[in-house]
Amino acid sequence: MTEPDKQPFTAHLEELRSRLVKSSIAVFIGFLISYGFKEQLFNILTHPLMRVMKPGEYMIYTNLPEAFFTFLKTALISGILLSSPILLYQFWMFVAPGLYDRERRMVLPILVLSTFFFVAGVLFAYFVVFPYGFKFFLGFASDVVRPLPAMKEYLGFASKMLLAFGLTFEMPLVITFLARLGILPVATLQKNRKYAVLIFFVFAAFLTPPDVVSQILMAFPMMLLYEISIIGARIFARKPVAPEEEAES
Judge contact between 162 and 80, C-beta under 8 A: no
User: Per residue in 163-206, pLDDT tens?
Assistant: 888 888 888 888 888 887 777 888 888 888 888 888 888 887 77
User: Per residue in 14-49, pLDDT tens?
Assistant: 888 999 999 999 999 999 999 999 999 999 999 999
Indicate the burial class of 147 (C-beta count within 10 angstroms; 0-12, 13-18, 19 or more).
Answer: middle
Q: Provide the pLDDT for residue 249.
A: 44
Q: Provide the pLDDT for residue 245.
A: 46
Q: Provide the pLDDT for residue 247.
A: 47
| pTM, entire model | 0.78
Domain ranges of the chain: 9-130+146-160, 170-249
